[in-house]
Structure 1
Amino acid sequence: MEIRHLRYFVAVAEEQNFTRAAERLFIAQPPLSRQIQQLEDELGVSLFERSSRPLQLTEAGKFLYTHAKRLLAKSAEIKTMTQRVGKIERSLSIGFVATTLYGLLPRIIRQFREQHANVELTLHEMTTSEQIEALKAGKIDVGFGRLRVEDPSIRRILLREEPLMVALPSSHALAQKGQKLTLRDLIDQPLLVFPKQPRPSFADQILALFYDRGLTPNKVIEVRELQIAIGLVAAGEGLTIVPSSMHAFIRQDVSYLDLDEQRAVSPVIMSIRMGEQSDDLKALLQNIYQVYEDERIRYIREEL
């Protein structure tokens, strides 16, 4: 059973007509019919109910269609990844979520550029889910996010678990106390979470912190992105919970207080294609660890 047989079969199954499928495949109908017949002979089963109009799949055909789609998608993914690995020029395309940009990522990128001037770097802001699809499509080489997305084609490297802080108006009574806060201190305050879409997202991580402790915020306001959340905090519209690296995002009208809660952290996750072991990615990972060591940040070390 060859890939082309599966491609022909899927076209006929989706078009429900040999003539339309042949046009879609840019081949004549008689050769297409022969290829499908060869496939059925090899498998020893009928794949189509030829007496029905439009053409319908048999039970065996339905089973094969489901798995053929997956195999064809995987074949296209392998082709794209192999072509990218085989490129002569050295480049590294990086996807990142906005919250990682306020931490050490800019320094990591800058230091990598200084040490590897012959590698062309490009940066793309995208959600974790978008990074996974972009990795599989060969559009990026590495992603930095905060969500644990399971995919057999992707390897996740947990770099560190970043403590969370509360951002609140500097004039707020809780800010005036200048003490660490608990999640229970926040449930009666309007809580701004981000991003609003797509989900799951960092917003769900924050809400889970409350729900896991049997707490429910009285008012949750979903906003599109981090910058909007901080702007609304400055305007006195509520509080928000952010990674501790946001403390560097200084505004006179916004204060940041520590959370006095165990496991109130947000992971920083590096995602790459499974089996990827390029020298440039290894160098980038070592660069990350060096920056963490310079800053005396606890991290979890893995090797490619």
Structure 2
Amino acid sequence: MDIRQLKYFVVIAEEGSITKAAERLFMAQPPLSRQLQAMENELGVTLFNRTNKKNMSLTPQGRIFLKNAKRILYTMDEAITEVQEYNLQMSKKLSIGTTIYCSEIMLPVLKKFREKYPFIIPEIHEGNISHLMDLLKNHTIDIVVSALPIHTEGYITKELQPDKCVFVASKAFEWIKECISLEEISRVPLLLLNAPDSNSLYKKITSEFERKELKLNVSCVCHDSGLLLKMILNNFGATILPKSMVDNMLGKFMRIITIEDDPWTTTPNLIWRREGYISSTLREFIKTFESQSSK
């Protein structure tokens, strides 16, 4: 059994289909099926339940083998990177995960990093923190920019500057005071960006209003940040967002109002794996973030 066969197995497991796996691997189905059969013959176990040709699920033995196959492939990738960097050649690969709330914090750092290392082409993944931590655990991404997840065991974290939340409305929103209270916000039609995480801003906002025994006037729950901002611009309602999200471009087109005794200040973090080789590319990206945060 070789590394190539392990890669074939992982792709089949991820796609759940020989047909889709073959398309992803740019190869014909028959040789891929033969490679899988050869692996099962060598191991003496069945790795997949073959209910039909289109859908394949892992057997218990297959799940165990998948976990270890991925670990072997991660180790191989790290070994290749470490050897290549022995001659001071920085890896061109850098995969970053960020939540929608932290993307504006990351962008100026990424811009400065790209100016220094233009040959590196970053790959950006956006999602909720649970999804991003799964990607980090599976070595799909190298680092996450987000508020801390519930569990951080096995990861290194680096605190960034605290980020307050602000009340965001269209320019048509009439308000003469410098700040707005939670009680006053409760009387305004709100558009909220939802996420499935238990520690998402949506959950924190609704929980705080419940704690204060204030009834939220939610006019729409959005699952797309772009649509949310368009609705605010068109005066459908207002929202609550981290200040970093609106400091740059959005402040020119919307009303940004300080929230009195803001209860939703968060501390974004850099999060990366504790174990394994840290590429010089990732180290330089972290260093760039630290230098920007100290200003």
- TM tier relative to shorter chain: 0.5 to 0.7
| Cα gap change, 1:283 to 1:235, in 2 (>3 Å) | same
Correspondent of 1:26 among 40, 57, 64: 40
Between the aligned partners of 1:162 and 1:186, the Cα distance in structure 2 is 20
Task: Measure how far apart 1:223 and its partner are.
Answer: 0.4
Query: Identity of paired residues, percent?
Result: 16
Between the aligned partners of 1:151 and 1:73, the Cα distance in structure 2 is 24
- Deviation track 1:156-196 (CA, whole Å, cap 9, x = no partner) reads 433232011100122223xx31421121211122221113x
Between the aligned partners of 2:75 and 2:42, the Cα distance in structure 1 is 31
Identify the residue that residue 176 of structure 2 maps to in structure 1.
177
Task: Measure how far apart 1:241 and its partner are.
Answer: 0.5
Identify the residue that residue 225 of structure 1 maps to in structure 2.
224
| Cα gap change, 1:221 to 1:115, in 2 (>3 Å) | same
- TM superposition score normalised by structure 1: 0.65
Task: Measure how far apart 1:212 and its partner are.
Answer: 4.2
Identify the residue that residue 271 of structure 1 maps to in structure 2.
271
CA contact (8 A) 2:164 2:262 kept: no
Between the aligned partners of 1:220 and 1:152, the Cα distance in structure 2 is 39
Identify the residue that residue 95 of structure 1 maps to in structure 2.
97
Q: Where in structure 2 are the equivalents of 1:64-213 lying within 5 Å?
A: 74-88=67-81, 90=91, 91-101=93-103, 103-117=104-118, 119-146=120-147, 148-150=149-151, 152-173=153-174, 176-195=175-194, 197-200=195-198, 201-213=200-212
CA contact (8 A) 2:156 2:271 kept: yes
Question: RMSD of the alignment, in Å?
Answer: 3.2
Between the aligned partners of 2:208 and 2:157, the Cα distance in structure 1 is 22
Task: Measure how far apart 1:153 and its partner are.
Answer: 4.3
Identify the residue that residue 257 of structure 1 maps to in structure 2.
257
Between the aligned partners of 2:241 and 2:282, the Cα distance in structure 1 is 28
Between the aligned partners of 1:252 and 1:32, the Cα distance in structure 2 is 63
| Cα gap change, 1:252 to 1:95, in 2 (>3 Å) | closer
CA contact (8 A) 1:165 1:242 kept: yes
Which amino acid is the alignment partner of residue 151 of structure 2? Answer: E
| Cα gap change, 1:178 to 1:170, in 2 (>3 Å) | farther
Identify the residue that residue 247 of structure 1 maps to in structure 2.
247
Which amino acid is the alignment partner of residue 97 of structure 1? Answer: T
> Is 178-187 or 211-220 further displaced after alignment?
211-220
Aligned length: 236
| Cα gap change, 1:257 to 1:218, in 2 (>3 Å) | same
Task: Show structure 1 runs of 5+ residues with no match.
Answer: 1-21, 34-64, 295-304
Between the aligned partners of 2:155 and 2:243, the Cα distance in structure 1 is 27
* More relative contact order, 1 or 2 (CA 8 Å, 6+ apart): 2
Task: Measure how far apart 1:220 and its partner are.
Answer: 5.3
Which amino acid is the alignment partner of residue 139 of structure 1? Answer: T
Task: Measure how far apart 1:226 and its partner are.
Answer: 2.2
Between the aligned partners of 2:188 and 2:264, the Cα distance in structure 1 is 18
Between the aligned partners of 1:86 and 1:139, the Cα distance in structure 2 is 16
CA contact (8 A) 1:156 1:271 kept: yes
Between the aligned partners of 2:256 and 2:128, the Cα distance in structure 1 is 25
Larger radius of gyration: 1
Task: Measure how far apart 1:244 and its partner are.
Answer: 0.7
Between the aligned partners of 1:281 and 1:243, the Cα distance in structure 2 is 26
Task: Measure how far apart 1:240 and its partner are.
Answer: 0.3
